[in-house]
C-alpha cells in the first residue's frame, strides 16, 4: 500500500470538512488559529514518519496530553489511581460540573477535565514537577527537544479557567486533591498549552502501539497497562462522542480542543491528525473524517 499517497488523498478529501465546524473560542488564544490548517502524520513501528499537509506545524495539544499523563501516572502508581478516578464514559461534556457533585468528587474518567486534574495532582506528588516530567517524556519520545509550552495560550486559559478552578476546588472539598488547587491548575493549563506537530505526537505515542515499550526499547508500561490505556482511549477519549468515534474509526483515540486527535493502530503505528474546527462535542470535524477514511480504506482497525 502506498501510504504517502493515501495520506495525501485524505488531506485533500478531508480538509474541506472543516467548514462544518468551529474553532474553540472559550480559550481566546485558541480562537486565533487558522481554521483551514490541516495536517496528518503516521508514525510506523519500523521508525518511519510520513505526513501530509501541515503535519510539521506545531499546534496546541490540549487534551491529547491527557493520554500521556495517564501513562506516566499508571507507570509510577499502577492501580492505586483508580481509588480517585473512575474509568467509565461520562456521557457529559468534558468540563461538566454536575456529575462530579453527584459522584462525590470522584471524576468519571481520567480524560474529562476533572479526571485530568487528578492525574496532574498525582504526578505532582509522585514526581515533584508534573509539567516538567511530561515535557521531558514528550521530548524524548518525539525526538524534538524543542517541545514546549505556548505561554500565551497558557495565560489565556488561566485567565478564563473558572470552570476548571471550580472542578478542582470541589474535588479538594471532597478530600480528593493532594496538592494546592492553584498548583494543580497551573500545571494543568501549561500541560494543555504544550505545542507539538502531528509528526511529534505520532512518534511520541508509539509506546501505545508497542505494548508499552518506549522509543529506546525500555519499558514504560506493562503490556496489560498499555492495553488498559488504549481501552480507556476507545471508551472515553473523544468526549461524549466516543461511541460515534468508535463506530466510525474503530481505533483508540484521544482528541483535544486544539483540533488534534491521536489514534493508535496496535502493532502498526500511530496516526495524528490536526484540523482546528470542532464539532459540538469538541472533536475535530475534518480530523474524525480523515481517520474514518483511513481505517475504511486500509482495514486497519482493532475490529
Q: Which residues bind ligand GLU (CB under 6 A)?
A: 62-63, 94-95, 113, 157, 164, 192, 256-257, 282
217-247: b (≥16 Cβ within 10 Å) or e = eeebbeeebbbbbbebbbbbbbbbbbeebbe
- Residue 301 falls in the annotated catalytic set: no
Residues 178/185, Cβ–Cβ less than 8 Å: no
CA–CA separation, 95 and 82 (whole Å):
20
Q: In whole angstroms, what is the distance from residue 130 CA to residue 121 CA?
A: 8
Per the residue annotation, which of 49, 60, 65, 66 is the catalytic one?
66
26 among known catalytic residues? no
Out of 49, 60, 61, 188, the active site residue is 188
Quick one: 42 or 257, whose CB is closer to ligand GLU?
257
Q: For the purposes of burial, counting CB atoms within 10 Å of the CB of 173, is it exposed (0-12), middle (13-18) or buried (19 or more)?
A: exposed
**CB of 236: closest distance to ligand GLU in angstroms?**
12
Cβ proximity to ligand GLU, 60 vs 144, nearer residue: 60
Rounded least distance, CB 187 to ligand GLU, Å: 12
Among 239, 264, 284, 288, which one carries the catalytic annotation?
Answer: 239
Active site residue 239: yes
Question: One of 23, 49, 257, 288 is an active-site residue; which one?
Answer: 257
Q: How far apart are CA 145 and CA 3, in angstroms?
A: 27
Q: Which is nearer to ligand GLU, 212 or 237 (CB)?
A: 237
User: Which one, 39 or 282, has the nearer CB to ligand GLU?
Assistant: 282
Give the nearest distance from C-beta 295 to ligand GLU in angstroms.
23
Q: Do 245 and 236 form a contact (C-beta atoms < 8 A)?
A: no
Per the CB < 8 A criterion, the answer to whether 172 and 181 are in contact is yes
Return the active site residues.
Answer: 63, 66, 188, 239, 257
Amino acid at each position: 500500500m502506498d501510504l504517502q499517497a493515501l495520506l495525501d488523498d485524505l488531506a485533500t478529501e478531508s480538509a474541506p470538512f472543516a467548514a462544518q465546524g468551529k474553532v474553540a473560542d472559550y480559550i481566546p488564544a485558541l480562537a486565533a488559529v487558522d481554521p483551514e490548517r490541516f495536517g496528518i502524520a503516521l508514525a510506523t513501528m519500523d521508525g518511519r514518519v510520513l505526513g501530509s499537509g501541515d503535519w510539521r506545524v506545531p499546534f496546541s495539544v490540549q487534551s491529547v496530553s491527557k493520554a500521556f499523563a495517564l501513562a506516566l501516572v499508571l507507570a509510577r502508581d499502577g492501580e492505586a489511581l483508580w481509588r480517585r478516578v473512575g474509568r467509565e464514559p461520562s456521557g457529559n461534556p468534558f468540563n461538566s460540573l454536575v456529575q462530579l457533585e453527584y459522584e462525590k468528587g470522584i471524576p468519571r474518567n481520567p480524560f474529562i477535565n476533572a479526571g485530568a486534574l487528578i492525574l496532574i495532582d498525582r504526578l505532582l506528588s509522585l514526581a515533584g514537577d508534573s509539567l516538567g516530567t511530561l515535557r521531558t517524556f514528550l521530548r524524548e519520545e518525539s525526538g524534538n527537544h524543542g517541545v514546549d509550552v505556548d505561554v500565551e495560550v497558557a495565560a489565556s486559559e488561566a485567565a478564563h479557567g473558572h470552570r476548571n478552578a471550580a472542578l478542582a476546588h470541589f474535588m479538594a472539598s471532597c478530600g480528593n486533591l493532594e496538592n494546592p488547587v492553584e498548583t494543580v491548575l497551573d500545571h494543568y493549563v501549561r500541560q494543555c498549552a504544550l505545542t507539538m506537530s502531528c509528526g511529534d505526537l505520532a512518534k511520541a505515542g508509539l509506546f501505545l502501539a508497542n505494548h508499552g515499550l518506549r522509543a529506546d526499547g525500555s519499558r514504560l508500561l506493562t503490556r496489560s497497562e498499555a492495553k488498559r490505556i488504549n481501552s480507556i482511549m476507545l471508551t472515553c477519549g473523544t468526549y461524549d462522542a466516543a461511541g460515534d468515534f468508535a463506530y466510525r474509526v474503530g481505533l483508540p483515540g484521544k482528541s483535544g480542543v486544539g483540533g488534534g486527535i491521536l489514534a493508535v493502530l496496535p502493532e502498526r503505528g500511530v496516526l495524528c491528525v490536526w484540523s482546528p474546527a470542532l464539532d459540538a462535542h469538541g472533536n475535530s470535524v475534518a480530523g474524525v473524517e480523515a481517520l474514518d477514511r483511513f481505517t475504511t480504506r486500509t482495514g486497519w482497525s482493532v475490529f
